[in-house]
Amino acid sequence: MVLLRHISVALTAAVAALGSALFIALNFFYKRRIWSPQAEYCTIKEEEEERGRRQVLVLGLDGAGKSSMLQGLSAGEAAAKRGGSRPTRGFNFISLSVPACQLDFLEIGGGEDLRRYWSDYLKRTHVLVYVVDSSDRSRLPLAKAELHRLLRVEPQLPVVVLGNKQDKPDAAGVSELHEALSLGSDTSDRKLFLLAAQLGSDGSTRTSHQGLDTFQDLL
Ligand SMILES: Nc1nc2c(ncn2[C@@H]2O[C@H](COP(=O)(O)OP(=O)(O)OP(=O)(O)O)[C@@H](O)[C@H]2O)c(=O)[nH]1
Ligand SMILES: [Mg+2]
């Protein structure tokens, strides 16, 4: 009887030990295997970093001047004359080789139906360029709301806000834009720049600071 009890205690202990070992092994296996979109994004971003590529995501409301800026940046392409670009219905992409790295500029259209996809691209991005039409005063509150939605998603991401269309007589200046877009309310320790910009007569976007130098400094 005593012997039987000993055997039964030993068996219970063995089963418990086997169960624990199995649990630990399965846990280890699945932790390594489970796929998550975030992990996938991070892997792609790391791979791109290794190859010296940096992604600059260009966002802003429709008509802000994102495509014009990209067209102006791409060498050899017919310059972006005012009134020359159509609304972007999806993406717009250009890649530039600069001394430090390869800069991939990705614009996503600013139409209302496309804005909901903007934040999906933040994870793979190294710098966000947010273009604002400084003369479109009635939509500055909307531009601000969309910008802050993005800032909340990625608190560390460096951001360059371009106060575009400074050539227009009613354009808001830098300090007015700073106020209207509540840029001072971003309490994170991210790098955030506000630059005045306008499309030059040659079709390139001129900023209050050397544009490409700003990106290179940030990267
Ligand atoms: N006056 C003036 N017009 C500009 C400037 N930049 C762009 N534009 C004009 O603004 C209009 C819209 O420019 P786009 O570059 O197509 O705007 P977008 O931000 O790409 O717009 P979506 O693709 O619809 O999101 C075009 O007619 C441009 O020529 C600028 O600095 N000054
Ligand atoms: Mg566009």
List the CATH number of the domain containing 134: 3.40.50.300
Alpha-carbon distance of 88 to 73, in angstroms, equals 17
Distance 9 CA to ligand 1 centre (A): 79
pLDDT in tens, 7-61: 555 544 444 444 444 444 434 333 433 344 444 444 556 666 666 888 999 999 9
- Number of CB atoms found within 10 A of residue 79's CB: 15
Distance 138 CA to ligand 1 centre (A): 17
> What beta strand segments (E) does 79-191 contain?
91-97, 102-108, 127-133, 159-164
Mean pLDDT of all residues in the chain?
78
What lines the ligand 1 site, CB under 6 Å?
60, 62-68, 82-85, 87-88, 109-111, 131, 164-165, 167-168, 198-199
Question: Which two three-digit tokens encode residue 11?
Answer: 């068996």
Give the predicted TM-score (pTM) of the model: 0.77
**Is 214 annotated to bind ligand?**
no
Which domain, by its residues, includes 131? Answer: 53-217
**Is 144 annotated to bind ligand?**
no
Say if residue 21 is in the same domain as residue 63.
Answer: no
Say if residue 28 is in the same domain as residue 58.
Answer: no
Residue 43 lies in a domain: no
- Read off φ and ψ for residue 143, nearest 5 degrees: -60, -40
Say if residue 9 is in the same domain as residue 105.
Answer: no
pLDDT recorded at residue 103: 87
**Closest ligand by atom to 84 CA:** 1
Say if residue 205 is in the same domain as residue 120.
Answer: yes
Alpha-carbon distance of 71 to 64, in angstroms, equals 14
Residue 86 lies in a domain: yes
**Is 205 annotated to bind ligand?**
no
pLDDT in tens, 160-178: 999 999 999 999 999 999 9
Residue 41 lies in a domain: no
Task: Domain count for the chain, please give it.
Answer: 2
In this structure, the residue with its CA closest to atom 13 of ligand 1 is 65
Say if residue 29 is in the same domain as residue 110.
Answer: no
What does the DSSP 8-state code read for residue 119?
A: G
